[in-house]
Amino acid sequence: MDYKKEYQRWLDNADAETVAELNGIKDDEKEIEERFYKNLEFGTAGLRGIIGAGPNRMNSYVVGQATQGLANQLIKTNPAGTELSVAIAYDSRIKSDEFAKTSAAILAANGIKVYLFEELKPVPELSFTVRYKKATAGIVITASHNPAKYNGYKVYGADGAQLNPELAAVVLEEIEKTDIFTGVKTCDFDKAVAEGTIVMIGDEVEEAYLDCVQAQCINPELVREKGDTLKFVYTPFHGTGNKPVRKILKRIGFDNVVVVKEQEMPDGRFPTVKSPNPENKEGFKLAIGYAKECGADLIIGTDPDADRVGIIVKNKEGEYVNFTGNQVGALLSEYILSSLKERGELPKDGYIVKTIVTTNLVKAICSAYGVEMKEVLTGFKFIGEKIKESEQTGVGTYLFGFEESYGYLKGTYARDKDAVVATMLIAEMTLYYREKGITLSEQMENIYKKYGYYVEYVESVVMEGMDGSAKISGIMDNLRENTPQSVAGKKVVAVRDYETSVRTELESGKKEEILLPKSNVIYLELEDGNNFVVRPSGTEPKIKLYCLMRGDSKTEAEALVEAVKADIKNIVK
């Protein structure tokens, strides 16, 4: 793409507000190039980018082109005469409501019925709604936990999971055929609402969704009897979790929830945090102050689109420490399986699903309960595919799925991670162990003593812009061409290259096929059951490096992690 020509084309065709923004950067050649050297990439997760004018930014024109591409795909891949419909939700981010309305008007103009929420809603509620309304597809306007300058556009299939790679490829093909200024159909939004092509939906769908969430409660009698005795702090980080999370907690009996007032209301600027990411302890500073003041031992935070959840727990030294997504996933796996076994309800064909970069501790937990552990690529849509596979074949009972990046799902009512159900289960689990005289910190230690000390570490290195993209590609190429012989002093025994779908044992040279979809991931299997994984993020301008270490003691496992950190510096230099 000739970025200078494209810049001029936007100046000649865009609306006055956009032209004014573009004139504001007319003397900044680097900024013009960054915005216009390519189109914002549409992947299987949709779009995500910095808000602003230009084809490599998030704006109404880019959203419109993507929506027209989706409309074309729906018409093209469904039988003639099919009544097509799309459910749309949006979060608290800047321009999210505007982008949602833009999408609705375009779909309506293409003869596609739209179900649009009247107010901001979480990602999992949209996933549920697609299934509940029997819609053909779904859209969520969100950039998840990214900083405030970002927004995004996620597309869902009829099964409620993020669009599969095959259909996403068709959408991309249609986007590329669509002129961003002249190829997008639209209509008057208010007129479409009056005519019923756009249907506004409210709390009736949320109540049905919460019914399904509530059904996932494992020990409802305990919560009804003792729920009001557990005091904990909750923060929605200025996002969509505030209403549905508080509703479900109240429904089942948790009446003693302290909400962080400064972070309660939706605000796309996220003024109280550097980043609204529940992985980062920094964002919980206000919540920790609340916990100290009210004497709470647990803090729960959901990200802006309420599909991910993080927790802070008070340990025996009285310090508030953040648990990783791997730790919470392991705690929930043990809690769910042990509770089902205790009640005699553990199905013989039950299974748990995790992603390839998620802790291997769950393998040991599943093995102890005689439950299958299924492993998929990074991305919750692949967990959703396993649920769908069981429904279609009648083989296997899905019990729980999670990924290390703080996403969890119990139940099959949705096909994406759900911070609402996860918050409910975390609170329930905390109460359950407290009644046995055990804190969450103590239960985590019990798990390590039972299964071994698994310690994980993720380093995310941000590399923005053209230069960053080229550097990330270079790092992945170098790993393939010059595979390290050791990591953290541990010998590399095998390499899994998910892009070529080949696993190679280094000593024997033996190769075997990897039976998963292709993905740009290098997985190094180390001796003694340790692992190191490198992959570019699919949604952010960064490369992610994962170390999955196991030791006979916490000290041994942590020493391996520290050794990996030193090696990472050489890999990303």
How confident is the model at residue 466, as a pLDDT? 79
* pLDDT digits 0-9 by tens, 3-35: 999 999 999 999 999 999 999 999 999 999 999
Among 106, 262, 222, 270, which Cα is nearest to 174's? Answer: 106
Domain 209-451 is of which CATH architecture? 3-Layer(aba) Sandwich (3.40)
> For 68-97, what is each residue's pLDDT tens digit?
999 999 999 999 999 999 999 999 999 999
Summarize the confidence of residues 238-243 as an average pLDDT: 97
Please determine whether the domains at 209-451 and 453-571 fall in the same fold group of CATH.
no
Of the candidate CATH numbers 3.40.120.10, 3.40.50.1000, 3.30.2090.10, 3.10.129.10, the domain formed by 38-201 belongs to 3.40.120.10
* 341-352 per-position pLDDT tens digit: 999 999 999 999
CB-based contacts of 259, cutoff 8 Å, min separation 6: 233, 234, 235, 236, 242, 246
Q: Give me 19's structure tokens.
A: 């032209």
Per-residue pLDDT tens for 154-179? 999 999 999 988 999 999 999 999 99
pLDDT in tens, 448-503: 999 999 999 999 898 888 788 889 999 999 999 999 999 988 999 999 999 999 99
Q: Is the pLDDT of residue 539 over 90?
A: no
Contact between 378 and 346 under an 8 Å Cβ cutoff? The reply is: no
Weakest mean pLDDT among 70-74, 201-205, 408-412:
201-205
Would you identify the CATH topology of the domain 453-571? TATA-Binding Protein (3.30.310)
270: tokens are 């996220």
Catalytic residues: 144
Tokens of 181: 């200024």
β-sheet with 320-323: strand ranges across: 257-259, 232-235, 298-302, 309-314, 320-323
572: pLDDT strictly greater than 90: no
pLDDT at position 520 over 80 = yes
Question: What is the mean pLDDT of the segment spanning 184-199?
Answer: 98
Q: Residue 13: which H helix or E strand, with range?
A: helix 3-13
Predicted TM-score (pTM) of the model is 0.94
Domain locations in the chain as residue ranges: 38-201, 209-451, 453-571
**By C-alpha distance, which of 456, 486, 445 is closest to 561?**
456
Position 316 confidence tier, pLDDT thresholds 50, 70, 90: confident
Residue 195 burial by CB count (10 A; 0-12/13-18/19+): exposed, middle or buried? exposed
Q: Tens of pLDDT along 370-404? A: 999 999 999 899 999 999 999 999 999 999 999 99
CA 245 – CA 259 distance, rounded (Å): 11
126 contacts: CB under 8 Å, gap ≥ 6: 87, 88, 89, 117, 138, 139, 140, 156
pLDDT of residue 544: 93
Q: How many C-beta neighbours within 10 Å does residue 295 have?
A: 9
Question: Once rounded to an integer, what is the mean pLDDT over residues 215-238?
Answer: 97
Report the DSSP pairing between strands 531-536 and 522-526. antiparallel
| pLDDT the model gives residue 252 | 97
pLDDT at 43 over 90: no
Q: What is the mean pLDDT of the chain?
A: 95
pLDDT tens digits for range 27-38 = 999 999 999 999
3-state secondary structure of 190: helix
**pLDDT for residue 538 is more than 80:** no
- Burial level of 54, CB count in 10 A (0-12/13-18/19+)? buried
User: Which pLDDT score is estimated for 324?
Assistant: 96
Is the C-alpha dihedral spanning 435, 441, 442, 446 positive or negative?
A: positive
Is residue 545 within 8 Å of residue 561, measured between CB atoms?
no
